[in-house]
Amino acid sequence: MLSIGKLSPGRADYYLGTVAKGAEEYYLGSGEAPGRWVGHGAERLGLDGTVGANALRDVLAGRDSDGRSLIARQGPERMPGFDCTFNAPKSVTLLFTLGDDETRRHVRAAHDAAVDAALAVLEAEACRVRRGRGGATVLPGEGFVAAAFRHRTSRSGDPHLHTHVVVANLARFADDGRWTALDGRQLYAWCRTAGFLYETHLRAELTGRLGVEWGPVRNGIADVAGIPRRVIDHFSQRRRQITEHMAEIGSLGGHAAQVAAYATRDAKDTTVPFAALKEWWQTRAAKVGLDDSTLAGVCDRTTRQLPTRDDIDDDKLNRRLDAPNGLTEHRATFDRRDVIRQICAELSAGAGCPDVLAFAEEYLQSHHVVALAETGGDRIRRADGRSAPIPTDPQRWTTPDMLRVEQLLVRMAAARSHTGAGLAHPDHVDAAIEGRTLSDEQEGMVRRICESGNGVDVAPGVAGSGKTHALAAARDAWVASGRTVIGVALSAQAARQLEAGSGIPSMTIARFQRALERPDDPGLGPDHVLVIDEAAMVGTRTLVDL
């Protein structure tokens, strides 16, 4: 996977301080491998080979090798750059850490190749600068000025193969020759997709180099077949630290995980000799079922042959993308990044990044999709919890099957207009409204959904407009009229909030659907009212079922 964080001033010393003092110290003692310059922007500045301390500090400060400022206006709070961290799956890390010298060499080379391939895509798609009034015009930069530092341990002392790609906050636009700050929004927009590409390229490399097989791909990540799950969990202390901290403070989500990661991190101890660490890891691994014989059986389960574009079954992959549980399982429309990620998720043995991109382009130009005249838009969540818009590819697509599903949904809803469904007695509606302080809009919503008789009613409203408060009045009117009201939401947390705010007994949509499938469940009758929270976020296929 790939994670991206902003660098604070002086952060260069962390990456430089972890580097071993010479090859002998790295291979026999402590410390990490020296950094290497990457990115076309680094080439333009004449930066090549091993990263030097002064050169790294200069580019993060926005200066060239002669100390001249590359950026015209620099404020005191200027952010120096981004830390793009490519993390190998734990099973791959264990293969790298505990394998013999040949295995370690192949895993290291595969990881480096995957980092370079995914970074090339990230650079092509996300190296952007802004011009014009208020930076409204986004233009391509010539390339990243970046330094890659490969590490083999986590802060908690566990084996953890990962590479920090330190991207300086500057890029050059070729047409005017000016260096300016990066448009970081693009980095975050492409972060998840670049992570998927790293994973699928890594799988292809290791399939070809070591003949390994892979477990199922989940969220873009697969583990090497043959390495027990209990071993992977045992060597995931850092992950446990983060999840335990989140549980303690009762937080959820990606932003909460990032906060927990910062709150629980300790300074990495680079003084412990790697040989001592490896001996400790081997002892621990043997206790949980990963000995030399088990590890040896991981390799050569399949032919050592790098998967190529010719190995992809186009018809089968197209069917998987088109399927109800493919691209449109959770979304009605998709963009190019969605297609790339879905392709990566379908290729268990992996594929090279160029092959994935080529297939994505072919798919988007085929009869399998329908282009939509719809402008794209997306948002990212800032560290302070606020969101900000990010420019995305304005072109979106859907599938012919999804169009048919949407048309079915509309027909079903229209067919149930004014059928007497969900009615509440007017006297009970009046009583429910009188018992609460409601705005005119809220009162209008309650009367409409309780008195329309439509089989489907929609109650739109922005966050904080009081929909849940108004639903409490509707619930009272329905119950007083002999109706049974049930609430459903996508997440357990949302269901709890719906129930707390409206008094409507609520559960997740998945739990509700499972309950209806049980033979002993009485199902829904004509007196039931189903409230779907945040229906715009629910997949179209799920809405058809509901």
Within a 10 A sphere around the Cβ of 540, how many other Cβ atoms? 18
Which segment, 15-29, 123-137, 182-196, 392-406, is predicted with the most confidence on average? Answer: 182-196
Q: What is the sign, positive or negative, of the torsion defined by CA atoms of 409, 412, 414, 417?
A: negative
Separation of alpha carbons 450 and 423, rounded Å: 5
pLDDT computed for residue 385 by the predictor: 59
Statement: residue 253 has pLDDT above 70? no
Question: Tens digits of per-residue pLDDT, 187-224?
Answer: 999 999 999 999 999 999 999 999 999 999 999 999 99
For 61, 73, 80, 203, the CA distances from 76, given in Å and listed in that order, are: 11, 10, 11, 43
What value does the mean pLDDT take over residues 388-402? 78
Closest C-alpha among 394, 335, 388, 393 to residue 184: 388
Q: What average pLDDT does the structure give for the chain?
A: 86
Question: Tens digits of per-residue pLDDT, 87-99?
Answer: 999 999 999 999 8
Tokens 């969101």 — which residue?
387
CB-based contact 213:302 (threshold 8 Å): yes
| Local confidence band at 147 (pLDDT 50, 70, 90 cut-offs) | very high
CB-based contact 471:413 (threshold 8 Å): no
Residue 236 has which token pair? 């995931």
pLDDT computed for residue 444 by the predictor: 94
Residue 297 has which token pair? 């059986």
Tokens 């590890």 — which residue?
295
Give me the amino acid identity at 359: F
Scanning 307-439, the segments in alpha helix (DSSP H) are 314-322, 336-346, 353-364, 400-415, 426-434
pLDDT computed for residue 201 by the predictor: 98
